Copies of this chain bind each other. A is one copy, B any other.
Amino acid sequence: MAIVLGPNHYGKAEIHLVRVYRDTARHEIRDVLVSTSLRGDFDAAHVRGDQADVLPTDSQKNAVFAYAKEHGVGEIEDFALALGRYFTGIESVTAARIEVDEGGWQRIGDHDHAFVRSGRESRTTTVTVQAGGAHVVSGVKELTVMKSSGSQFRGFRRDRYTTLEEADDRILATALTARWRHLDGDTAPGLVDWSARHAAIRSMLLDAFAATHSRALQHTLWSMGRAVLDAQPDLAEIRLTAPNLHHFVVDLEPFGLDNPGEVFHAADRPYGLIDATVQRDDAPPGPSWSA
C-alpha cells in the first residue's frame, strides 16, 4: 500500500504570441495563445526534488517564440506538430501536448498593416505527440449561434420534479465548442490544408445548425456532427460541447400585452450543458493522454 506518484504533466500555459509577416509591405499577422505540456519520467523531480530531467517551462516558452520565428505560425496545426516533435526529442520527455487558440483579425479596408479583431470565436488545435505518432485535433471555441424558430422540445421523460411545459417553437442558442480529430494528422507540414478543412467544417456546422428542425439540442448536435463526418472522410470523430443558453419568454400579460415569441429574457445561469461525440465506429483510438 505504498504511496506513489501517479499521472503528471507540466508545461507553460497561455503564451500570448503575435507573429507579424513583414516580408513585403503588405503585412500578415497571426495572434495565438499557446500552451505546452510534457509527460515523462519525472519521479525524481517530485519525490526527491531532483530537477535533472525537467526542462523548465521557461525554456518551453522560449521554444515557442523561437519556433514562431524559425518555422513561422503558418497553420496552427503544423506549428503545434513541430513544437510537439521538438519536445518529445528531449531526453526524459515521452509525450507532449500543444494547445493553440487563434484569434481572428481582418484587414481594415485594404490597408497594408492595419487590422481589426473579427469574430468572438477562436480556432483551436490540440496536438499530442507520443510513442506511436502524433494526434491532431482541430476545433472552434465559442461559436455562438441562435435560432429564433425551428426548435421544439416535446415528448420528454417526466419525473416528480418535472414542471417544464412542452415547447413547439422556442429560441435555441448555444456557444459551441467543437473538436474534430483527424485521421491523417500525423503528417509533415504542408500536406494537409488545415485552413481549408477548418473553413469547410465551420461552414458545415453553421449550415447544419440552421437547417436542422431541432427536436432538442442533442438532436441538433448529432445533425451537425453527422454532416461533418459524412463530408470529411479524414476525420475520426467530432466532439460537440454546447451550453443551452436559455431564452425565456417574458410574461407581458400583466401589462395587457401578448408575447408570441417576441420578447425574451436571456438568462445566465443555470444553463443546460450538452456534450456529445459523433464518431466512426472503426476509427483508431485517440491519444492515450487523458486530461
Binding site for B on A (CB under 8 A): 1-22, 27, 29, 31, 35, 37, 42, 45-63, 65-66, 68-70, 90-92, 105, 108-109, 111-121, 143-150, 153-164, 171, 206-207, 209-211, 214-216, 218-219, 221-222, 226, 229-230, 237, 239, 243-244, 247, 250, 252, 254-255, 257, 259-282, 290-291
Also in contact, A51 and B18, with CB within 8 A (given A120-B119, A244-B57, A270-B13): no
14 A-B pairs besides A27-B149, A57-B272, A59-B163 with CB distance below 8 A are: A5-B222, A6-B276, A14-B271, A16-B265, A46-B218, A46-B219, A58-B164, A65-B250, A91-B157, A109-B210, A114-B209, A115-B145, A117-B121, A117-B146
A171 to B143, CA, bound (A): 28
A279 touches B46 (CB 8 A): no
Also in contact, A54 and B210, with CB within 8 A (given A19-B262, A37-B273, A257-B66): no
Which of B10, B14, B113, B121 lies in contact with A270, CB distance below 8 A?
A: B14
- Copies of this chain present in the complex amount to 4
B115 touches A118 (CB 8 A): no
A163 touches B252 (CB 8 A): no
A239 to B291, CA, bound (A): 12
A159 touches B255 (CB 8 A): no
**Closest chain B CB from A42 CB (angstroms):** 7
B50 touches A155 (CB 8 A): yes
A272 to B164, CA, bound (A): 28
Which of B5, B120, B268 lies in contact with A276, CB distance below 8 A?
A: B5
B275 touches A13 (CB 8 A): no
A159 touches B108 (CB 8 A): no
A268 to B33, CA, bound (A): 12
Which of B61, B222, B266, B271 lies in contact with A12, CB distance below 8 A?
A: B271
A120 to B119, CA, bound (A): 6
A145 to B120, CA, bound (A): 14
A116 touches B270 (CB 8 A): no
A145 touches B157 (CB 8 A): no
A207 touches B52 (CB 8 A): no
Also in contact, A263 and B17, with CB within 8 A (given A108-B206, A147-B114): yes
A12, A35, A291 pick with most chain B CB within 10 angstroms: A12
- What residues on B are CB-neighbors of A59 within 8 Å? 158-159, 161-164
B148 touches A22 (CB 8 A): yes
A112 to B282, CA, bound (A): 38
- What residues on B are CB-neighbors of A269 within 8 Å? 13-16, 268
Q: Show 29 A/B contacts (Cβ-Cβ < 8 Å), sorted by A.
A: A4-B279, A5-B278, A6-B277, A7-B277, A8-B274, A10-B274, A10-B276, A18-B263, A18-B265, A22-B261, A22-B262, A35-B270, A45-B219, A46-B219, A51-B155, A51-B156, A58-B163, A59-B158, A62-B163, A62-B255, A63-B161, A66-B161, A109-B206, A114-B146, A115-B145, A117-B146, A118-B119, A118-B120, A119-B119
